[in-house]
Amino acid sequence: MAHISDRVQALAASATLAMSQKSNELKAHGVDVINLSVGEPDFETPRHIKEAAKKAIDDNYTFYTPVAGYMSLRKAVSEKLAKENGVTYAPEQIVVANGAKQALCNVILASINPGDEVIIPMPAWVSYVEMVKLAGGTTVEIHADISQDFKITPSQLEAVITPATRMILLCSPSNPTGSIYSREELKALVDVLAKRPDIMVLADEIYEHINFTGSFTSLASFPEIADRTTIINGVSKAYAMTGWRIGYCAAPLWLAKAVTKLQGQYTSNASSIAQKAAEAAYTGSQECISEMNKAFERRRDLVVELARQIPGLKVNRPQGAFYLFPEVSAYIGKTTPEGKAIASSSDLAMYLLEKGHVATVDGAAFGMEGYIRLSYATSDDNLREAMRRIAETLALLKEQNK
Ligand code: PMP
Ligand code: GLU
């Protein structure tokens, strides 16, 4: 007899992973689907990183590691943070996990109690709200739509802070919008947070390197909040290493210790071999990053240009990550050629998949109805064909209403 805990029953399945799985199932049935749903670099992991992993096996890095990760990797991360981001976290403050996803969940589970409020600017990556739910916390959403380039303002932040506010979770460059907060914009938010030293700051900086502005400011670089800011980052996006599952938190020491205790009972260390590969990523040549960045920027230009040609779509010009988050509400309320109503962005994403054979993710999964997310981490040819299909499939909807 199935007996599922209330905790898991309350949890939504990951929409990004679900849409990607649906697209793979259709592909397995011979349907030529273009998958713009899951967000992961389409590049192969750079050769020198793969070689380091092979060497790690031969050198017998095959035993349990410390729960928080090899000290050599934590040192490499600490040095990276100092050099690239100008922030100070000792190796003891870094806990390596199975991806940035676990690193995030670790921090939330280790610091949020039932009743604690966590501020999350929307739209936001699908897993944040669910992680807060797992911890029994309460999500407080701030909505920032395309008219404000999906970025919250200081007054919006100020308005939602209550005595129960425990944490703010900010992602820049953003998944799902690609927006990046400038140093000035971050400073304005920091000025609000400076008034409340009891609010923890969780900065998801996983897309740091997929950035077309030429500069990146870490939230932890503001002295006003540095000692209560936790950075989340990892190798998945910057080094095309999604399957290796290495991410980390860089946290105040008390929190790093709590996270280590939690992880010690839960998953122990992340893979020893993947840790050695990540160490090679941080200590080796960084040229691969700029090469991939160039490709992502070119694709951004392409996909924005093509999306702007589609009537009814509203698009911003994302400055980083590899997502476009067009506003599609012009198509909601229409009818498919088969007579089915498109009542939501979820219906629209499903229609694009079934009729146009393009997998996207519905905006509501990111907390913003009326939008869809496209991942442009795929070839230029795939992007051209996908955008052609989207245009053609959406045009059918309009014709139905004439
Ligand atoms: N944060 C954001 C904003 C992401 O998009 C992702 C990728 N799904 C993650 C964290 C988790 O990355 P990882 O693959 O390292 O678990
Ligand atoms: N970052 C990716 C996405 O948002 C990976 C899938 C996931 O873990 O959600 O699509």
- Nearest ligand to residue 102 Cα: 1
Spell out which residues line ligand 1, taking CB within 6 angstroms: 39, 99-101, 125, 171, 175, 204, 206, 234, 236, 242, 247
- Nearest ligand to residue 238 Cα: 1
348: DSSP letter: H
**Ramachandran category for residue 9: left, alpha or beta (phi over 0 → left; psi -120 to 50 → alpha):** alpha
Q: If the chain, 402 residues long, is cut into consecutive pieces of 10 residues, what is the mean pLDDT of each piece?
A: 92 89 90 94 97 98 98 98 98 98 98 98 97 98 98 98 98 98 98 98 98 97 98 98 98 98 98 98 96 96 98 97 98 94 95 96 97 97 98 85 50
User: Which atom in ligand 1 lies closest to the alpha carbon of residue 100?
Assistant: 15
Spell out which residues line ligand 2, taking CB within 6 angstroms: 14, 16-17, 38-40, 101, 125-127, 175
User: What's the CA-to-centroid distance between 14 and ligand 2, angstroms?
Assistant: 8
The Cα–Cα gap between 291 and 384 comes to 21
User: What's the CA-to-centroid distance between 17 and ligand 2, angstroms?
Assistant: 7
Is the dihedral angle over the CA atoms 169, 171, 172, 177 positive or is it negative?
Answer: negative
- Nearest ligand to residue 37 Cα: 2
37: DSSP letter: S
On whether the CB atoms of residues 369 and 345 are closer than 8 A, the answer is yes
Q: What pLDDT shows up at residue 399?
A: 54
User: What's the CA-to-centroid distance between 185 and ligand 1, angstroms?
Assistant: 23
Q: What pLDDT shows up at residue 22?
A: 86
User: Which atom in ligand 2 lies closest to the alpha carbon of residue 125?
Assistant: 4
b/e map 21-32, b = 16+ CB within 10 Å: ebbeebeeeeee
Please give the single-letter amino acid code of residue 29.
H
User: What's the CA-to-centroid distance between 246 and ligand 2, angstroms?
Assistant: 14
User: What's the CA-to-centroid distance between 150 and ligand 1, angstroms?
Assistant: 19
